[in-house]
Structure 1
């Protein structure tokens, strides 16, 4: 059972009945995920990590508190910093009824980072985690909808979620929704409960008589606009679109009749480029897919354990290599030039782990390729 199925149940049913369509409440579903995140983890992050804005936001009654009210001057070695969160000021706001939001806290807690990468592998979309620490009787934000699908896990205390039966088709991040004419459903989340909220579904979140901590797993959904924008930008770099617009007193008037020609040219080029490799390059070439789970990378280098033909080799969780026939592998913003056999190995590993000996019938070549992929931080090996 994967982390995703533990949280949301049957994955196929979730995709067909809930994803992007309807909320899903699963009481106690997260109880089986051990060491998810603890109060001690949050305390350590907030008070001992020298957090910098915008990694922390503080909000109360629909108003985001300006960051200059809870940061302090600090130093990093000889460098002066002016955006380090002062935990004393942050906690003072919390005591005064404000909610503390820790953004992408998965980057600070390895076990939470591993959870996000596990879910990301199942969904094929980037996933990160935010933590909301709310005092009693708190309402951080107005009724709003998110640009991401979110999976809520209640960590401590309880929280009341009011979800409205409407979907905003093109939501912006944290978009406030007013004049909402829709019925609503209320869910009282207790420790271990899970709630899925589709992107674009308006909601209002409040605490009652006790403090609350909940974890939000944000599925940073890639849209058709993201895909088409990437493909179009590639096309527009070609010589066909490099010519200057007409010259003269009425540039717009001269260019307007020519738009049909270039629109048709763009449409034809887009249809020609709509193959699996191009789509793969745009979808998985995003920066968010370059942040694979690097846990153990330094230990591996320090111990320098020899790779054996019987070892299994696998892509690091959250690593989505984009390969080309000219010997290039790109992961996020980082590119590598590799031998053809190593590029082909990356392609095969996208389908799942395999034994090192299966990389090549020549043992020396198999070990050489495995060693290169491990050294580059793309893969892990083990028995």
Structure 2
């Protein structure tokens, strides 16, 4: 199993019984997501800068000055490089280390997040939490994301409350919550699904702990309508200036309904391309899994007809135009391509294909596959 199934098991059952409804705890099913060595290497040996790491103690985020130093990695003028010695000392003193967007720095985790993203259709990323024994970084709180917790090292105790905040917004602290609760002790390899808006309390007891929290950054109707409105308002019709005079509000009032009605009609029927850009064109969705791009460029090995080709996890291409005017929009870039490449990319949105099926002409099929790999949109496998 890969992707979501590797964590939750039967995906259909997960959607039907748990997603957005209740917690799911599975024991010992995820032992290759990340390791203690992976996390240690990022924190102590990568020249990590302060925005990528926070240190929290007793509910307070410590100022970065307590765990950064002028760079010792040869970078001139940087004064926000994480100092591994200071971080380790704070950890021994009871502080929890929070490694933000850990997936970007751990290729296996990044691929997993991007694969899950393609299954759910919402942006996915991950943080790692390194906690000493007897630590509680935050009070009871809920998150605005669905989260999949993978216990990497040691044990951690989760208290989940039988309550769902209907509008968790950016997440919130709920220290006075009065609701029934269920206790879960996570051990290495365990997975815990926590629905969006479910309050929880997390703490260690006698052992140190590392867990990875994979977040589904749920897009809301407000996100979609905001993005669509922003696109529509870029048209020339809305760039006209308001009238001038002593009472601008009085002058625009008779025209306002016309503009609102036109905007509402456009929002109600935006077209598939505009919808795609609004959902998948946001920053969180624009970068797919890129591991191996440089190796492919260096080795220059062309795809073979017997191989399979697939979109890189987290790649959401939009194909526009026809014939010589065909375009592929992906990862914040637009590529002019042949009709054959555009057609193949459109078919690959439904799943992987043998290279030989990209075109009736075997040589053309290889050229199409080579172009898609070269653009960083696809990867091949035996």
User: For this structure pair, what is the TM-score category when the shorter chain's length is used for normalisation?
Assistant: over 0.9
| 2 and 382 in structure 1: CA distance in 2 versus 1, 3 angstrom threshold | closer
Separation in 1, partners of 2:251, 2:197: 41
Per-residue CA distance 1:185-235 (angstroms, 9 max, x = gap): 222222222111111112111111221111111111222222222211111
In the other structure, the counterpart of 1:183 is 180
1:324 partnered with 2:323: no
Per-residue CA distance 1:122-165 (angstroms, 9 max, x = gap): 22222212110111111111221112110011122211111222
Separation in 1, partners of 2:244, 2:302: 66
Q: Which moved more, 1:223-232 or 1:247-256?
A: 247-256
Separation in 2, partners of 1:189, 1:120: 24
Q: Which moved more, 1:342-351 or 1:114-123?
A: 114-123
1:69 partnered with 2:51: no
| 81 and 75 in structure 1: CA distance in 2 versus 1, 3 angstrom threshold | farther
In the other structure, the counterpart of 1:195 is 192
Separation in 2, partners of 1:209, 1:130: 23
| 363 and 26 in structure 1: CA distance in 2 versus 1, 3 angstrom threshold | closer
Separation in 2, partners of 1:170, 1:106: 27
8 Å Cα contact 2:302/2:366 also seen in 1: no
1:365 partnered with 2:364: yes
Separation in 2, partners of 1:129, 1:26: 19
Q: Which moved more, 1:263-272 or 1:253-262?
A: 253-262
Provide the secondary structure at the position in 2 that maps to 1:205.
Answer: strand
In the other structure, the counterpart of 2:20 is 20
8 Å Cα contact 1:293/1:316 also seen in 2: yes
- 1:4-153 counterparts in 2 under 5 A? 4-30=4-30, 33=31, 35-74=32-71, 77=74, 79-153=76-150
How many residues are treated as equivalent by the alignment?
A: 379
8 Å Cα contact 1:145/1:172 also seen in 2: no
| 27 and 368 in structure 1: CA distance in 2 versus 1, 3 angstrom threshold | closer
Provide the secondary structure at the position in 1 that maps to 2:269.
Answer: helix
| 319 and 249 in structure 1: CA distance in 2 versus 1, 3 angstrom threshold | same
- 1:151-166 counterparts in 2 under 5 A? 151-166=148-163
Separation in 1, partners of 2:254, 2:88: 62
8 Å Cα contact 1:23/1:196 also seen in 2: yes
In the other structure, the counterpart of 1:214 is 211
8 Å Cα contact 2:57/2:137 also seen in 1: yes
1:98 deviates by: 0.7
Per-residue CA distance 1:267-295 (angstroms, 9 max, x = gap): 1111221x333322322222222322222
1:343 partnered with 2:342: yes
8 Å Cα contact 2:29/2:191 also seen in 1: yes
Provide the secondary structure at the position in 1 that maps to 2:71.
Answer: strand
- Runs of 4+ aligned structure 1 residues displaced above 6 Å come to none
TM-score by length of 1: 0.93
Per-residue CA distance 1:58-90 (angstroms, 9 max, x = gap): 111111101121111116545221111111111
8 Å Cα contact 2:328/2:337 also seen in 1: yes
Separation in 2, partners of 1:238, 1:304: 43
| 256 and 59 in structure 1: CA distance in 2 versus 1, 3 angstrom threshold | farther
- 1:306-325 counterparts in 2 under 5 A? 306-325=302-321
